[in-house]
Amino acid sequence: MNLRRDVFQAIADPTRRAILLLLASQAITAGAIASNFDTARPTVSKHLQILTECELLKQEQNGREIYYHLNAKKMKEVANFIEPFRKMWDDRFNKLETVMKNYKQKK
């Protein structure tokens, strides 16, 4: 479990995805995050630790409380990794369209 620390490992777990969704709109304390789940508190803490190590979450000290908030820049990595693959298919399909338009004209 401690082998890989990247965004892809972070989002592979349903609880961690739920935490990310929870933090999408606001910064929340660890206690408030835990209260949203039936899971034991240490388990939620472990998830928060992994998300922090993956740099998807940032911690901010506010008085006695630690608030967690999303690191939007890192979240973007998840969206970006699919782009070269999408580009490859888009190029291919553009070509298909051109080839078939020429084919139609030749007929």
The site for another protein (CB under 8 A) is made up of 8, 11-14, 17, 81-82, 84-97, 99-101, 103-104
Q: Cβ of residue 87: shortest distance to another protein, in angstroms?
A: 7
Which C-beta is closer to another protein: that of 24 or that of 60?
A: 24
| Residue 45 beta carbon to another protein: minimum distance, rounded to whole angstroms | 22
Alpha helices in the chain (DSSP H): 7-10, 14-22, 30-34, 41-53, 72-80, 83-106
Q: Give the residue among 81, 77, 73, 71 at the shortest CA–CA distance from 24.
A: 71
Q: Tell me the closest approach of the beta carbon of residue 83 to another protein, in angstroms.
A: 8
Determine contact, residues 8/50, Cβ cutoff 8 Å: no
Residue nearer to another protein on the CB measure, 45 or 93: 93
DSSP-based three-state secondary structure for 55: coil
